[in-house]
Amino acid sequence: MNFDFSDDQKQLRDQARRFLAEKCQPKAVRAVLEGKADYDRDLWKGLAEMGFLGVAIPEEYGGTGAGHLELCVIAEELGRVLAPVPFSSTVYLAAEALLLAGSEEQKQKWLPKISSGDAIGTLALFEGTGNPSPAAVKLAVSNGTLTGAKKPVADGAIADFAIVAARTGNSGRETDVSLFLVDLKAGGVTAKPLQNVDPSRQQAELTFAGAKAEPLGAANEGWSILSRVMDRAAVLIAFEQVGGADRALEMGRDYALDRIAFGRQIGSFQAIKHILADMYVSATLARSNSYYGAWALSTDAAELPEAAAAARISATQAFQHCAKQNIQVHGGMGFTWEFDCHLYYRRSNALALSLGSQSYWEDQLIDRMRQKNAA
Amino acid sequence: MNFDDTPQEAEFRAKARAWIDANAPKQYEEELRKASLGRVVLKGANILEVAKAWQKKKADAGWAVPHWPKEYGGRGASPIERVIWQQEEGVFGKLTAMFIIGQGMCGPTMMAYASEEQKRHYLPPLGSGEKIWCQLFSEPAGGSDVAGLRTRAEKDGDDWIINGQKIWTSGAHYSDYGILITRTDPTVPKHKGLTMFFLDMKSEGVEVRPIKQANGNSDFNEVYFTNVRIPDSQRLGAVGDGWNVSLTTLMNERMSIGANVATGFPELFDYCSSLTFDGAPALDDRAVRSKLANWAVKASGLRYTSFRSISALSKGQRPGPENSIGKLVAGSMIQEVAMYALDLQGAAGVLSGPEDAEVAGRFQAMLLRSPATRVEGGTDEILRNIIAERVLGLPGDIRVDKDVPFNQIPTKGRA
Ligand SMILES: Cc1cc2nc3c(=O)[nH]c(=O)nc-3n(C[C@H](O)[C@H](O)[C@H](O)COP(=O)(O)OP(=O)(O)OC[C@H]3O[C@@H](n4cnc5c(N)ncnc54)[C@H](O)[C@@H]3O)c2cc1C
């Protein structure tokens, strides 16, 4: 058994960490958070130059073709530093959808642009409150054009293209949904940025008024493609969450060593030690579940759906837990704008909702475990 | 990232599997599979005898303690092969719970500190289950604070004379030998005046009194020592160095990874899979699903954490304090799982008899046994301290008794 990343992958991690330590300091995250930019363009370019955007994209489409384990490694590092770039929308969702279901022409057109940082993509699935379901997809298609609205769409206002879920039937079943690729710059779509709990990442409403809809994947197969894309993204985002959880734990630990109260380091109070020990426990469980997800993702194993849901739930819990308790360990300082604690708190909650809520993934996990047991 | 064995590991696994397949007491397989924490019953058989027979059979073929050196009854297997063996032994491993303290903690301590002659004499029958060992550490005054113990050892010629009392000693009532930590100098700070021995539990002056536990069983005991004589040759480590020797024992407790601590989750999922509420599957119920999902990811998280430790082992790294996580998470989890399973049963959840209770009362047995999991081998609080101090590097607790001679430390909280 070798349930760990390889030495090469660990080297890649060190390389990514060094790069991000320089290019993605908290002040860069704050610049986006405070509205000075809608995403960090320099960082985005840098990620492209390092080959990180195309790490899981085959060479024939302009990527480095390294693979999905490598992408997990990068994801963790981006999560640690809260990278304020549309990486998850473009790389985990749009690129994965293209790789899974795109036509040769679509792949040729978009994947090299993703690798080189010249195109931002996103997935337009949600239509207001509620969890993903075929019945919740109302956006309509007629005569090859789309009419309706999607919100929230992560990075919707900065994206060049979107993969859009639209209704193509009325039976209320999964086969009612198809996917379309929409060039957002081609007209017929307006984007409105929306306030959200983590302004270091953008959210938008996309309104489609007769936008040209180019099918992505087979007609009426949309839901099944989506569900595979979501599973893959769940593992990758879990790594971002694991990175964030780890960093929040480190921040809490460091503060506990520095801060003195009652004449002692606060880290010598058992109540604080136990808070930090519990953060370590949740981060470790999440990391282990995510490793399993990484294995399933990289081998496209039959276990992927279950592994992805477990990684998703566990990593969401861990990041939320660590980010929340990190503020507690910091006391009043933790609630100031100056300290970085709230950046992690914000991101932990935004990521928790990014692919549908925790309860949605709980449902997914139990359904999948049940199917396995019945089989 | 893979789950594959190396060719060498695969060969070891195949050998182990074939041997187990040909030799395991299959007649008990079904009962062992259904056994849960606090409830292992073999109808019409004495579990101690069945366990000893299985262990002996393994010993004769060299599988009893695979990771021990050959000369002491093992086969010199690597740490990873030991884990593979445990994986393959599977449910039959549940039979050998009563050997864990002896083989997992006393054996390694003997290996580190006993004379060569003693090792060759005592270790093979310990490995083969012919002789059972217990660990005489905890006392009424020293559990978490092991170094607070008061059992005295006084030198008398070539012997030591022991007086005092141990408590919570698992298996003392059927043990042949024990490792014993004593105080040999009460005038120095507590960690410095301790000395370790091993002794024959049939020695004159040793009295074992079973304690009835909260769950009604009697697995642990009080052990009284009245002028018990131990030859100096049965001392382990130097006089006054007992604390360091005991750390070897406690470190080895943690080395016993791979044998996963029970979480109760597979049992709960099974149970819910067949449960219905007013004709609708319980697994369709929103609240049930949410609870199950949250426990599922803890159980899988522990499982894959142990896989990561196994991977580290196979690269020659030693398991460290981070392995405290297993019992810490599983302990509270199994308790919550048991409570929830009873809750699902409604008022009838209160019944615990194998005939009347759901699934033969396995969750009721878990409920009543699980509080002990959170105490034995280090309480939740002590495990959190270990993680905080030794994994995260936070300062140690303030120890007001650290530099105080032991005989000047207060003994009661309230006068
Ligand atoms: C089923 C079972 C089997 C056992 N088998 C054996 C055996 O075979 N051999 C043996 O030697 N012992 C055995 N023990 C004893 C076990 O190791 C002790 O019970 C355990 O270490 C706790 O010690 P205690 O019972 O004295 O509790 P105490 O140490 O008195 O603890 C009481 C409470 O205080 C807390 N506490 C104590 N110190 C601290 C601290 N520094 N920080 C925070 N909280 C603290 C504890 O967490 C606990 O909540 C067994 C116990 C059980 C339940």
A26-37 pLDDT, tens digit each: 999 999 999 999
DSSP assignment letter at B106? I
Q: Would you mind telling me the total number of residues written for chain B in this entry?
A: 415
Does residue B251 contact residue B193 with C-beta atoms inside 8 Å?
Answer: no
Smallest CA–CA distance from B8 into chain A, residue: A1
Instruction: Looking at chain A, list the stretches that DSSP marks H as alpha helix, in order from N- to C-terminal side.
Output: 7-23, 26-33, 41-49, 68-80, 87, 96-101, 104-115, 222-258, 270-299, 304-330, 341-353, 358-374
B379 Cβ below 6 A of ligand 1: yes
Does residue B295 contact residue B275 with C-beta atoms inside 8 Å?
Answer: no
Q: Which residues of A touch B393 (CB under 8 A)?
A: 253, 257
Mean pLDDT along residues A65-87:
98
pLDDT value, residue B257: 52
Residue type, B283: L
For an interface test with A, the pick among B1, B389, B399 (most A C-beta atoms closer than 10 Å) comes out as B1
B169 Cβ below 6 A of ligand 1: yes
Smallest CA–CA distance from B84 into chain A, residue: A1
Q: What is the 3-state secondary structure (H, E, C) of B193-260?
A: CEEEEEEECCCCCEEEEECCCCCCCCCEEEEEEEEEEEEHHHEECCCCEHHHHHHHHHHHHHHCCCCC
- Candidates B333, B282, B324, B281; CA nearest to B306 is B324
pTM of the model: 0.96
B130-173 pLDDT, tens digit each: 999 999 999 999 999 999 999 999 999 999 999 999 999 999 99
- CA–CA separation, B204 vs B181, rounded Å? 18
Pairing status of strand B177-183 against strand B133-136: parallel
- Candidates A318, A316, A304; CA nearest to A355 is A316
- CA–CA separation, B348 vs B325, rounded Å? 34
Does residue B186 contact residue B193 with C-beta atoms inside 8 Å?
Answer: yes
B397 Cβ below 6 A of ligand 1: yes
Residue B123 buriedness (CB in 10 A; 0-12 / 13-18 / 19+): buried
Tell me if A1 and B5 make a contact (CB, 8 A cut-off): yes
Q: Which residues of A touch B266 (CB under 8 A)?
A: none
Please report the ipTM that was assigned to this predicted complex.
0.96
* pLDDT at residue B362 is higher than 70: yes
Tell me if B384 and A277 make a contact (CB, 8 A cut-off): yes
The neighbour count for residue B137, using CB atoms within 10 Å, is 23
- Candidates B326, B298, B259, B80; CA nearest to A2 is B80
Tell me if A310 and B388 make a contact (CB, 8 A cut-off): no
A186-221 pLDDT, tens digit each: 999 999 999 999 999 999 999 999 999 999 999 999
B303 in contact with A at a CB cutoff of 8 Å?
Answer: yes
pLDDT value, residue B256: 61
- The residues with which B166 forms a beta bridge, in sequence order, are B223
Smallest CA–CA distance from A257 into chain B, residue: B394
pLDDT value, residue B415: 65
- Pick from B304, B387, B392: CB nearest A288: B304
- CA–CA separation, B25 vs B56, rounded Å? 12
CA of B144 to the centre of ligand 1 (A): 5
Does residue A31 contact residue A39 with C-beta atoms inside 8 Å?
Answer: no
Residue whose CA is closest, atom 7 of ligand 1?
B169
